[in-house]
Amino acid sequence: MEKVRLGVIGYGNMGTAHVDWVMEGKVPNMEIGAVCDIDVDRRNALKEKYPEISVFETAEDVFKSGLCDAVIIATPHYDHPPLVKKAFEYGLNVITEKPAGVYTKQVKEMNEAAKMSGKLFGIMYNQRTNPLYQKLRNMIKDGQLGHIKRITWIITDWYRPQAYHDSSSWRSTWKDEGGGALINQNPHQLDLWQWMFGMPDKIYAKASFGKYHDIEVEDDVVAFFEYDNGTTGQYITSTGEAPGTNRLEIACDMGRIVIEKGQFIFNRNVISEREFEKINTQPFGLPECWKCELPVEASVGEQHVGILKNFASVLLGNQDKLLAPGEEGINGLTISNSIHLSAWTGKTIDTKNFPHDEYYELLSERIKKSKVKKNVKRVVADTKNTY
């Protein structure tokens, strides 16, 4: 096998992009094996653009076609876990789009199936290819920050007008999307958080549902994270602010890091604040601190293409490790589900003993009451730079 033959399940916004990237040769170790979509218009659009690609109606048609070594699941959220499991049954390797699923109960089962299958399982956490976050993660792992005191991420540059929510019937509903800002816009950041800082131990959150737009899901969230080691976190997100902010601040023994607007600023103490404490005698003493601007690549990294390349490379035996193993998708989702659950119940959630069943029950209540959307204007959106 020289190239991995990729099946693309769902030719919507993301599926279209994946097909294009591979067809344009941006993923040299992959080729398109087959594509499916249940919508006839989407299939016709594909046939017109790429007459050479094998097109099917259903996922199972692709799974049993024998044309693919791996498949990428690019369907609506709820379908990710069942389709991943089905693909494993057919002996395929699988990449799932984010989120891993909508509720942890479902994703736990998917992870067990992945483990049993012995196949390669990845998730499209393309933000893990961003050099800014890779740099920060490596510095934390190397101990360059010392103890982390506080992490504050204000990530509100997700403005979504009513026209977005009305652009398809499944958008921004409990029944078909399973949430709002947390499940659609924030999975990357919630993953990056746990990838860089580890899982918070306790989560308390407030959320508003349909505060800024006519939707039933959350569009405004503030969450407190607590770690058993004393680190605190604040995660602030919204789809109702224009313009928004994307600012990550980390207070640590070695100083303060701010990542914003593509810049990585480290106000670095010459000695650790804890070491300074041992020698300081002045009531208003402060460790000497230097403002350091770290060199970072101008690009945001290889993004989706990087995840596809890495996946193929591991499958072909040319690289050891997946950058984004599928099993890790449950971590960001547990944070997301914990925020919902805390907002719904007013309780602080213990993420290590997350009540999977309780969450699913409360989500199911919302699914039952989910309103059928009116005024849907199906719009083919230009999604470039939005995922």
Binding site for a second copy (CB under 8 A): 149-150, 152, 154, 156, 159-164, 167, 204, 206, 208, 211-213, 220, 222, 224, 226, 230, 232, 234, 236, 238, 240-245, 249, 251, 255-256, 267, 269, 273, 276-277, 280-287, 289, 377, 379, 381-383, 386
- Per the document, the length of the chain is 387
Backbone angles phi, psi at 204, to 5 degrees: -130, 135
Q: Which is nearer to a second copy, 256 or 373 (CB)?
A: 256
Q: Which is nearer to a second copy, 367 or 376 (CB)?
A: 376
Q: Which is nearer to a second copy, 15 or 287 (CB)?
A: 287
Q: What is the nearest approach in angstroms of a second copy to the Cβ of residue 201?
A: 13
Q: Could you give the angle at the alpha carbon of 123 between the alpha carbons of 120 and 127, nearest 5°?
A: 135
Q: What is the nearest approach in angstroms of a second copy to the Cβ of residue 328?
A: 27
246, with CB counted inside 10 A (0-12, 13-18, 19+), is middle
Kindly state the DSSP code that residue 242 receives in the 8-state scheme. S
Q: What is the nearest approach in angstroms of a second copy to the Cβ of residue 370?
A: 21
Give the span between the Cα atoms of 129 and 296, in whole angstroms: 13
Q: Could you give the angle at the alpha carbon of 83 between the alpha carbons of 122 and 101, nearest 5°?
A: 65
3-state secondary structure of 27: coil
Q: Nearest-CA neighbor of 359 among 380, 343, 372, 370?
A: 343
Q: What is the nearest approach in angstroms of a second copy to the Cβ of residue 376?
A: 12
Q: Which is nearer to a second copy, 3 or 150 (CB)?
A: 150
Q: By the 8 A CB rule, do 135 and 183 touch? A: no
Beta pairing partners, 47: none
Q: What is the nearest approach in angstroms of a second copy to the Cβ of residue 380?
A: 9
Q: What is the nearest approach in angstroms of a second copy to the Cβ of residue 119?
A: 36
Q: Which is nearer to a second copy, 281 or 353 (CB)?
A: 281
Q: Which is nearer to a second copy, 146 or 301 (CB)?
A: 146
Q: Which residues contact 353 (CB under 8 A, 6 or more apart)?
A: none
